[in-house]
Amino acid sequence: MVDAERVGQRRKCNDYQDWELIQISFPPLMSIDTANEPIIIKCRIPDHGIQIKRMHVDTGSGVDIMYGHCYHFLPVEVKVQLSQPDITLSGFSGESSWPLGHIELVVELADAKNPQLVRSELIDFYVVRSTSCYNVLLGRNFIRLFNIIPSVVHGLIKFPTMGGIATIASHQATELCGSVVHVSIPSIGEQLKSSAVIANRLHSDKQIKIGAGLSAETKAKLHGILSANTDVFAWQESDMTGVPRDIAEHKLNVNPSLTPVRQKKRHMALERSDWLCAEVDNFVRANILRKVRYQTWVANPVLVKKADGNWRMCVNFKDINKACPKDNYPLSEIDWKVESLSGF
């Protein structure tokens, strides 16, 4: 991703210290010894004792990116420093996106073989909610601040420190996403996996899926919590009713000046129609749905195939959504905004 609006200011020659002007060189390589993998390093956030792995040094990125799954595992005292974004980001295909915010952190790099060769710089990370096998993307701004000279063919980066030239070798590309504050961040493939547990013996056919990447101890504790609180889950249609309206009530904020829309009936295949009728009957018996003779808004039901092969009944609310005024919090953003504000 590249910065679409601003370009980092370059330092003047007289702003550099003598130790920053040391010449950096790489040894010659035979073609058989050259590397062809991305440069992946790890660093420390010394002010908070955090170590972040799986950081990709990308000379094509104009900004330094921290992905949402990495930001999520940072301590609360770090996450509260997130500020409102002041730029937009654009990718290879030209699409623009608005980051969740930016956060300034002191980053420390050290030579693995000689820990005395260490250097720290203040880096401004932009937090984006995007899928990636990396935790952080280090762009040209990071490279400029550390005076880094990367060499992909050597699989190394070198940068000056007050004690001399520090060298950091790229980690193996097969290494999984690193950990943050000793909390394992599983790879994208592991995050998509899950294991099913039975929390309610009376409904053994209803299983709850939990993350497969969790430790055995965490799984056991989570299973115990679910089993001890089975009453808060809806195991059948009749369990979803009975909430007093003074506790929770939903209301559609429809613009009264718009004319109600009655969608034309759409016919379904016999198999889908029979399943839909049975599902509606279950909701009627559970007092979730009731018959209405004179409707003002009419929308067709839509069946969507679930991952387990069953059907999910939805309703085409396209027309009524157009009649409701929009707010600043679309559904895809609500969970993330609540999570960020609460510090989880």
Q: Please report which confidence band the pLDDT of residue 307 belongs to, taking 50, 70 and 90 as the band edges.
A: confident
Q: 145-184: per-residue pLDDT in tens?
A: 999 999 988 889 999 998 899 999 987 543 434 444 434 4
Burial of 241 (0-12, 13-18, 19+ CB in 10 A): exposed
pLDDT tens column, 268-295: 888 888 888 888 888 888 777 888 877 7
Query: What does the mean pLDDT of the chain come to?
Result: 78
pLDDT at 79 over 90: no
The residue that leads in pLDDT, 190 or 100, is 100
Q: According to the model, what pLDDT value does residue 204 have? A: 72
Q: How far apart are CA 119 and CA 141, in angstroms?
A: 16
pLDDT band per the 50, 70, 90 thresholds, residue 136:
very high
Structural tokens at position 19: 């130790």
Q: What was the pLDDT predicted at 270?
A: 86
Mean pLDDT throughout 202-217?
74
- Burial class of residue 108 in the structure, from the number of CB atoms within 10 Å of its CB (0-12 exposed, 13-18 middle, 19+ buried): middle
Using alpha carbons, select from 65, 71, 70 the residue that is nearest to residue 99: 65
> Rounded to the nearest 5°, which phi and psi values hold at 90?
-130, 145
Flag whether pLDDT at 304 surpasses 90: no
The per-residue b/e assignment along 200-216, b for 16 or more CB within 10 angstroms, e otherwise, is beeeeeeebebeebbee
Query: What's the longest Cα–Cα distance across the chain?
Result: 85
- Say what the pLDDT of residue 15 is: 65
* Residues above pLDDT 70, as percent of the chain: 80
The residue that leads in pLDDT, 173 or 202, is 202
pLDDT at 337: 47
Per cent of the chain over pLDDT 90 is 15
pLDDT for the residue 184: 41
Of 81-85, 115-119, 339-343, the range with the lowest mean pLDDT is 339-343
pLDDT at 77 over 80: yes
Least confident stretch, 67-71, 119-123, 307-311:
307-311
Query: Which of the two residues, 115 and 183, has the higher pLDDT score?
Result: 115
* pTM confidence score: 0.49
In degrees and rounded to multiples of 5, residue 315 shows phi and psi of -130, 135
193, pLDDT greater than 90: no
**Domains in the chain and their CATH numbers?**
2-186 (2.40.70.10), 193-235 (no CATH), 249-329 (3.10.10.10)
Cα Rg of the chain (Å, integer): 27
Whether the per-residue pLDDT at 195 is higher than 80: the answer is: no
Beta strand 194-197 pairing with 208-211: antiparallel
Average pLDDT over residues 288-308: 82
The pLDDT assigned to 32 comes to: 62
Closest by CA to 235, choosing from 207, 210, 211, is 207
pLDDT for position 92: 67
End-to-end CA distance of the chain: 27
Find the mean pLDDT for residues 290-307: 82
Residue with tokens 């063919």, as numbered in its chain: 153
For residue 11, the model assigns a pLDDT of 58
120-144: average pLDDT: 90
